Structures are given as C-alpha cells and as structure tokens.
C-alpha cells in the first residue's frame, strides 16, 4: 500500500520551498496589516514538516526491506 | 482580492498531488471491499485524521469563524462538550459492535441488530442527506469564491467536483481518506498563521478581552461574555448565543453530538476502514486530540476580527446590505494578513476543506447505495466484480447529483433551509435507537422503527408549536425560545426522549429476538477485546488523557 507520508512529505516540501523562496527573494511582498515576512516564517516550518515526513517514510521503508 | 501567479501555482500543485494520490491507488482496487471499505487496511494515524477531516468541510470552516465573530469563545463548545464526549463514547463503547459485527455500513448494522425496515429508513434518509449536504457545501463554496475572488460560480463548482470525482473514482474510499489527511494538514498550515497574526495584531488574548469588553458592555451584556465559554450560561439573556446551561449540555453535548458522532456513517466509515479492532477503537480517540485544538485556528480568528474592527487599524467586518456578513470574515482576514504566496496556501486550504467534505459525502453515499439499497432491493446476488462496478458508477452519479443539488440551492434558497430542518428531525432521535440497540438486548425491530418515526414526528411537532427568531410555530405558539440555537437543542431533546420511550415500551410489548442472533451485536453478548501494549496503544488511557486536556481547556477559558 502507498505510504501516505511520501506524497504528503513531498507536498509540504514543495510548498515550503515556494514560500521560503518568496520570503528570501521577494522579501518586500507584505500584506496590508502585517509587517512580518509571513512567507519566510510560514514556509520554514512547512519545509521542515515535509522533510520530517519524508525521513519517517524512508526509515519505515528501510526497516521493511 | 487579487491573486498573484504564485498563488495559482500553489493551487495547481495541490490539485496535482490529490490527483496523483488517486492515480497511485488505482491498482489496489480489485474488489468492492477495496473500493468501498478500503479493504479494512488503513493505518490508524490516517483514519484518525480522516475521521476529523471528513467533518471539517468548507461550510464548517466559514461558519465557525462567523460564529466566533458573533458569539465569541462559546462557539468552541461545538468542538469541546459538543463533540469530545461523543467521540470518546463511540471509540470506547460503540466501535466493538460496529467493527466487530463485520457490518459494512451503519445501516447494515441496524439490519443485523433490528430489521430490514429500520435499515431502509436509515439508509434512504442518509443517502438523500449526504447528497444534499454535499450540494449545499458546494453552493456555499462557489458563492464565496465568486464574491471574494470574482471566480465564475459554475467554473469553481465544476472544476472542484471534477477533481473530487477523478480521485474517488480511481482510488475509492482509500483515496478519499488519504486525501482527507493531506487536506487536513493543509487546512492547519493555511489557517494557523492567520490565527497567530490576527491575535497578535489585536494585542494578544488580553487585548481582545479589553476591546470586546467595551463593546459587549455597550450592548448590555457583561464585558467578558465573548472570551468566556461557561461563565455566562446561567440564563439565555446573559450570552449572545441565547442558550442556557441545560440546553447546551443536554441538547448539544448529549443528543445532537452523540447523534452525529456515534451514528453518522460519514465519520464512522473512516474508523471502520482501520486495519484492526484496536485501530478502529483508537481512531476517534486519537482524532479527539487535534479536534480539541481546532477552535484556536477556526474560531479564534473570527473573535480577533471583531476586536480588530473596533481598533481602526484598517480592518472592518464586511457589510452586506448594511448588515455585517460574518461569513466573509475568514477570507477578508486572509486578504489583510497574508502576502502573495501564503495567501495561496490559505485559499487552497479553503478549497481543500470543501473537497474533503464533498469526498466524504460521496464515498459514504457510495457504500450505502451499493450495499444497503442496490444489493438489498435491486440485485441481491451477483459476483463481487458487479458490485465494484456499481460502486464506481455510483461515484459518478453521486457527484452529478451533488452538482444538481448545488444548483437547486442557487435557485431555491428556502427549499434548502427546509431540507436541513427536515434532516435535523430525522437525525435527532437516531442515537436513542443505537443506544438501546447496543446496550439492551431486549430491544426489537418493530420498536426501533416506531421509535424513529415517533422521534421524527415529535421533532417536527415541537418545531411547529414553538417560535424562535420568527421561525417555526406554524401550528400555534406554545413556547418562545430566546434563539434558534436554543430551539434546535430542545427539538433534539424532545426527539431523543420520545424515541427512547417509544422504543422501550414497544420492545417490551413485542417478541424478543433469540439471544444467539444477537451475538457480536449487543453488549453482554459480545466479546470486548482485551487491550495490550503501552498507554497510547490502549483506548482507555487515551480517553483519560483526552478528558484531562479537555478539562484544562475548559477551565482555562471558563
């Protein structure tokens, strides 16, 4: 059976990279009511979460084989 | 609100992943059981999140932030007292019968426990209800996207329905469940930054308390009413929801929430797809952990929005013909707090919530139609292959009917209100039937059926004889409720009580079923599996942990 941690891990890795990219290369993209670099701060945890899911899936598949 | 190319990219990435999951699962679908029941093989962390996500539709997200803005933190009762006790009960006490009976659906359990007519009553009302609720939520999302982004109503409905159709058609229930988990994670990722940003801007929880205090004091209520969940429930006049303690605890916390979480096949189906009895029982219990914390990301932004609107910082509650339209709170907050990029994630989360709600309805409809209606009345015996094909065809029919229901909703607003009212009447007594069925071996089929019918009639009569906010009372006015919510809580109480009593009395007057027919279906005639392993692998310690956290949350926000 498909290990759901793989697609969801990749999904959040991609999402995190897009937001992180925006946060780093277009830091002036700000919303009307917030001075924070929202893309940077929300992209980072998404990327970490995605990588964590991939790591867990990789460990599980290594144990299975 | 305008979206940037990066926002559309994120939406496209999401579409690619949900379709990809369906595509990767397509080869696993070789029997009707694989397609409609996930072959009872899904790991418990997945079923738990799907259990919560199937209930977390777009209407729920939009509606809860709107209620947060209107009623304050009291809205959290829909997640705490109005959900958690029932979720624990279904996991600990009811799942052994649902999962252990090998029933393939909730109506099928009714057939095993009671009789054919009770099952049919439940199966038909459930099938019609799922189609309409799927249609109503589709309509709500289409309208919202049209209003906020200017997207074409037909386009948003057809595109999102087509995507749900493709991935459920390919991968059946497993695909729906897997995607519900992805959608749940995305909703959390897309909404929690908003809660943090909005609360921070409003001066933290303390700042919100001060600002809303001044407002509610001016409105004639206590200054703390928006930020306290229990303190002002002594009388309906002292809180904005217009409900009192008994109606809240007995109506919402007992009848309505147990009726939903313990009998609704939409959520039960997720637990029944788990890979073992132990996993099936733990599904609701593990799901309870994220459920308790959802108010912080779906309700709190609504509360913060009202505070912000009183601060002159450039945010105001959107108006609709001069009256505040709270349903737009969540999207307008996103527009003010999210830059291009994160805005894409937030809106994709909203679209995802809609899809998970719709896929949940469609897959539950599928199973009930194929096993409880088609196999019972249309073609009793056929090779399994045939039922697999019927299941697939039903997926298409279910989606098409939902789209139809969405257009009925566009045309006839009142019909939808009426239907939701009628479904409420049909649902309210159900928990009494299941309670007596599972824990009293004397209960009989005739009794269950007459109890359900009586409960529904009693609920309708209560509505026809009482008035709240100008609604109901078409046969006269015996009582006037302070709010529509109080009225619905009391209707549920009347329905439950009358169904319970009628089932009890008629059971005693009819011939009992022999005990050997009830093995595995009723408490006392069923082996409850012994639990082994660490605390998190056993239902009871998990439930105790949930209760402890629930108590802390309720005292904190009392």
- Please give the pLDDT value at position B356: 84
Say yes or no: A23 contacts chain B, CB-CB below 8 A: yes
The neighbour count for residue B321, using CB atoms within 10 Å, is 5
Inter-chain contact A15–B336, Cβ cutoff 8 Å?
no
The neighbour count for residue B414, using CB atoms within 10 Å, is 7
- Please give the pLDDT value at position B137: 83
Q: How many domains would you assign to chain B?
A: 1
B9 → closest Cβ in A12, A18, A43 = A18
Q: From B338, which residue of chain A is nearest by alpha-carbon distance? A: A31
In angstroms, rounded to a whole number, what is the distance separating the alpha carbons of residues A6 and A50? 9
Strand B471-472 vs strand B466-468: parallel, antiparallel, or unpaired? antiparallel
- Please give the pLDDT value at position B417: 74
Inter-chain contact B339–A7, Cβ cutoff 8 Å?
no
What is the end-to-end Cα distance of chain B in Å, rounded?
A: 37
Per-residue pLDDT at B265 exceeds 90: yes
Q: How many CA atoms lie within 13 A of B145 on its CB side?
A: 24
Residue B457 lies in a domain: no
Residue B469 lies in a domain: no
A14 → closest Cβ in B13, B24, B28 = B13
The nearest CA of chain B is from the CA of A58 a distance in Å of 17
Per-residue pLDDT at B202 exceeds 90: yes
Q: From A20, which residue of chain B is nearest by alpha-carbon distance? A: B341
**Looking at beta carbons, which residues of chain A come within 8 Å of B347?**
none
CA B467 to chain centre: 26
Indicate whether this complex's ipTM tops 0.85. Answer: yes
Among B61-70, B125-134, B422-431, the least confident range: B422-431
A29 → closest Cβ in B10, B13, B340 = B340
* A to B CB pairs, distance under 8 Å: 96
Q: Provide the mean pLDDT of chain B.
A: 91
pLDDT class of B418 with cuts at 50, 70, 90: confident
- Please give the pLDDT value at position B239: 87
Strand B466-468 vs strand B479-480: parallel, antiparallel, or unpaired? parallel
Q: What is the total residue count of chain B? A: 558
A19 → closest Cβ in B20, B314, B342 = B342
In angstroms, rounded to a whole number, what is the distance separating the alpha carbons of residues B27 and B311? 56
- Please give the pLDDT value at position B471: 80
Residue B456 lies in a domain: no
Strands (E), B208-294: none
**Looking at beta carbons, which residues of chain B come within 8 Å of A31?**
335-339, 342-343
Per-residue pLDDT at B529 exceeds 80: no
Dihedral sign computed on CA atoms, order B380, B384, B386, B390: positive
Give the range of the structural domain holding residue B181, as residue numbers without chain letter: 5-25+44-411+528-556
Cross-strand pairs, B274: B42
Q: What is the total residue count of chain A? A: 65
Q: From A8, which residue of chain B is nearest by alpha-carbon distance? A: B182
Inter-chain contact B339–A12, Cβ cutoff 8 Å?
no
In angstroms, rounded to a whole number, what is the distance separating the alpha carbons of residues B241 and B75? 9
**Looking at beta carbons, which residues of chain B come within 8 Å of A23?**
341
In angstroms, rounded to a whole number, what is the distance separating the alpha carbons of residues B342 and B139? 25
Q: Which of B550, B490, B509, B504 is nearest to B255 (CA)?
A: B490
- Beta carbons of A54 and A13 less than 8 angstroms apart: yes
- Please give the pLDDT value at position B217: 84
State the CATH number of the domain containing residue B323: 1.20.1730.10
- Please give the pLDDT value at position B307: 93
Residue B447 lies in a domain: no
The nearest CA of chain B is from the CA of A55 a distance in Å of 17
Say yes or no: A64 contacts chain B, CB-CB below 8 A: no
- Please give the pLDDT value at position B219: 78
Q: Which of B442, B423, B461 is nearest to B525 (CA)?
A: B442
The nearest CA of chain B is from the CA of A60 a distance in Å of 13
In angstroms, rounded to a whole number, what is the distance separating the alpha carbons of residues B324 and B21? 40
**Looking at beta carbons, which residues of chain B come within 8 Å of A18?**
6, 9-10, 13, 341
Inter-chain contact B338–A38, Cβ cutoff 8 Å?
yes
- Please give the pLDDT value at position B435: 94
Per-residue pLDDT at B308 exceeds 90: yes
Cross-strand pairs, B471: B468
Say yes or no: A14 contacts chain B, CB-CB below 8 A: yes
- Please give the pLDDT value at position B19: 96
Among B91-105, B148-162, B419-433, B447-461, the least confident range: B419-433
- Please give the pLDDT value at position B524: 85
- Please give the pLDDT value at position B105: 95
**Looking at beta carbons, which residues of chain A come within 8 Å of B197?**
33-34, 36, 38
Q: From A27, which residue of chain B is nearest by alpha-carbon distance? A: B339
The nearest CA of chain B is from the CA of A29 a distance in Å of 6
pLDDT class of B465 with cuts at 50, 70, 90: very high
Most confident option among B247-256, B291-300, B479-488, B524-533: B291-300
**Residue-wise pLDDT tens digits, B84-93:** 999 999 999 9
The nearest CA of chain A is from the CA of B71 a distance in Å of 24
DSSP state letter for B256: I
Residue B136 lies in a domain: yes
**Disruptive mutation site among B181, B189, B202 for chain A (greatest number of A CBs within 10 Å):** B189
Inter-chain contact B315–A7, Cβ cutoff 8 Å?
no
Look up the pTM and report it. Answer: 0.93
DSSP state letter for B274: B
Residue B79 lies in a domain: yes
Interface residues of B toward A, Cβ cutoff 8 Å, are 6, 9-10, 13-14, 17, 20-21, 24-25, 28, 41, 46, 174, 178, 181-182, 185-186, 189, 193, 197, 201, 308, 313-315, 335-343, 345
- Please give the pLDDT value at position B411: 83
- Please give the pLDDT value at position B242: 85
Q: Which residue has the tokens 């090779």?
A: B383
The nearest CA of chain B is from the CA of A38 a distance in Å of 7
* Max CA distance (Å), chain A: 52
The nearest CA of chain A is from the CA of B164 a distance in Å of 17
**Looking at beta carbons, which residues of chain A come within 8 Å of B17?**
7, 10-11
Among B10-14, B63-67, B454-458, B533-537, the least confident range: B533-537
Inter-chain contact B181–A8, Cβ cutoff 8 Å?
yes
Give the three-class secondary structure for B553: helix
- Please give the pLDDT value at position B1: 77
Q: Mean pLDDT across the stretch B151-176? A: 94
Inter-chain contact B189–A42, Cβ cutoff 8 Å?
yes
- Please give the pLDDT value at position B98: 94
B41 → closest Cβ in A1, A18, A30 = A1
Per-residue pLDDT at A61 exceeds 80: yes
pLDDT class of B542 with cuts at 50, 70, 90: very high
Per-residue pLDDT at B253 exceeds 80: yes
pLDDT class of B174 with cuts at 50, 70, 90: very high
């Amino acid at each position: 059976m498909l290990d759901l941690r793989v697609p969801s891990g990749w999904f959040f890795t991609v999402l995190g990279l897009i937001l992180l990219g925006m946060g780093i290369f277009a830091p002036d993209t700000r919303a009307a009511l917030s001075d924070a670099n929202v893309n940077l701060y929300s992209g980072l945890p998404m990327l970490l979460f995605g990588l964590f899911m991939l790591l867990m899936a990789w460990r599980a598949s290594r144990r299975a084989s | 609100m305008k979206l940037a190319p990066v926002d559309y990219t994120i939406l496209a990435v999401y579409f690619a992943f949900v379709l990809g999951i369906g595509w990767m699962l397509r080869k696993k679908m070789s029997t009707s059981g694989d397609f409609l029941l996930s072959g009872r093989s899904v790991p418990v962390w997945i079923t738990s999140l799907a259990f919560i996500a199937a209930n977390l539709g777009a209407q729920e997200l939009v509606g809860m932030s709107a209620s947060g803005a209107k009623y304050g933190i009291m809205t959290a009762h829909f997640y705490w007292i109005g959900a958690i006790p029932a979720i624990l009960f279904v996991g600990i006490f009811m799942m052994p019968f649902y999962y252990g009976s090998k029933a393939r659906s909730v109506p099928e359990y009714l057939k095993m426990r009671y009789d054919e007519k009770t099952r049919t009553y439940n199966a038909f009302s459930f099938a019609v209800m799922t189609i309409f609720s799927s249609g109503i939520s589709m309509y709500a999302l289409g309208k919202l996207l049209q209003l906020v982004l200017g997207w074409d109503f037909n386009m948003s409905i057809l595109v999102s329905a087509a995507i749900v159709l493709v991935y459920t058609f390919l991968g059946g229930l497993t695909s729906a469940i897997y995607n519900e988990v992805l959608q749940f994670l995305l909703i959390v990722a897309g909404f929690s930054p908003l809660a943090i940003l909005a609360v921070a801007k409003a001066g933290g929880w303390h700042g919100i308390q001060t600002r809303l205090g001044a407002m509610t004091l001016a409105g004639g209520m206590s200054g703390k009413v928006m930020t306290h969940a229990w303190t002002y429930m002594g009388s309906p006049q002292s809180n904005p929801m217009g409900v009192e303690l008994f109606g809240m605890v007995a109506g919402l916390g007992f009848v309505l929430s147990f009726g939903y979480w313990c009998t609704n096949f939409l959520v039960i189906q997720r637990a029944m797809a788990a890979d073992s009895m132990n996993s099936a029982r733990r599904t609701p219990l593990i799901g309870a952990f994220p459920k308790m914390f959802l108010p912080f990301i779906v309700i709190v932004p609504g509360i913060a929005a009202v505070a912000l609107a009183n601060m002159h910082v450039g945010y105001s509650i959107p108006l609709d013909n001069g009256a505040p339209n709270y349903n737009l709170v969540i999207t307008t907050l996103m527009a003010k707090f999210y830059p291009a990029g994160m805005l894409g994630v937030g809106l994709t989360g909203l679209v995802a919530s809609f899809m998970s709600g719709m896929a949940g309805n469609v897959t539950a409809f599928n199973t009930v139609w194929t096993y409880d209606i088609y196999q019972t009345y249309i073609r009793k015996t056929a090779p399994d292959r045939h039922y697999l094909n019927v299941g697939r065809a039903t997926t298409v029919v279910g989606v098409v009917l939902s789209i139809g229901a969405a257009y009925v909703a566009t045309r006839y607003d009142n019909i939808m209100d009426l239907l939701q009212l009628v479904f409420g009447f049909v649902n309210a007594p159900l928990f009494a039937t299941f309670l007596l069925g599972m824990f009293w071996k004397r209960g009989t089929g005739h009794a269950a059926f007459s109890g359900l019918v009586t409960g529904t009639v009693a609920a309708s009569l209560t509505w026809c004889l009482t008035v709240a906010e100008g609604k109901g009372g078409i046969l006269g006015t015996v009582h006037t409720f302070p709010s529509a919510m109080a009225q619905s809580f009391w209707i549920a109480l009347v329905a439950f009580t009358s169904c319970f009593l009628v089932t009890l009395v008629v059971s005693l007057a009819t011939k009992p079923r022999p005990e050997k027919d009830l093995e595995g279906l009723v408490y006392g005639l069923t082996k409850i599996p012994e639990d082994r392993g660490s605390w998190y692998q056993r239902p009871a310690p998990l439930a105790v942990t949930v209760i402890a956290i629930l108590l802390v949350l309720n005292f904190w926000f009392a």
